Amino acid sequence: MSENPRLTVTLHQEQDFQFRVRFDGTAIPELLTDESEPLGQGAGPSPTLMLTTAIANCLSASLLFAMRKFKNQPGPLVTTATTELVRNEQGRLRVGHVQVDIQLAEAATAYQSLERLLAQFENFCTVTESVRHGVEVSVSVRDADGMQLHGIEVPAGA
């Protein structure tokens, strides 16, 4: 695997706020996303729901990996994540806080090195640690002829 792997998704607008998401270079089935009402129709997960899901899934997978690394055979984890939306100074909605609750399948005494793995599993969650520390996002907008209308110059298709 490359030292700095790249992941690419392509979105095609279907109608209104509905987008068909393609996970480029994978066999993963396409996904329909949509904003909730009143903006969209709620026909698929919104970007905020997908971010919440990504955080919860990454933390769950990191905990599962850590538990197995320390020779545990955990039963199924159940994770609930709740995102609180807040308004910024301009009155625009932002993700203010995400609460993730992970339920283990067994009592704490059933696991080896639980204190040690709980102290470190969050550090291995790519998504959560990226969100916590901020992620640089660059944006460019081109017209149908490929003319750069907004943002930094990025080669088309890069």
* CA atoms of 142 and 34, how far apart (whole Å): 23
What region does 44 belong to: left with phi over 0, alpha with psi -120 to 50, or beta? beta
* Confidence check: pLDDT of 158 > 60: no
CA proximity to 84, closest of 76, 96, 75: 96
C-beta separation of 32 from 19 below 8 A: yes
pTM of structure: 0.88
How many Cβ atoms from other residues are within 10 Å of residue 130's Cβ? 14
Mean pLDDT score across all residues of the chain? 93
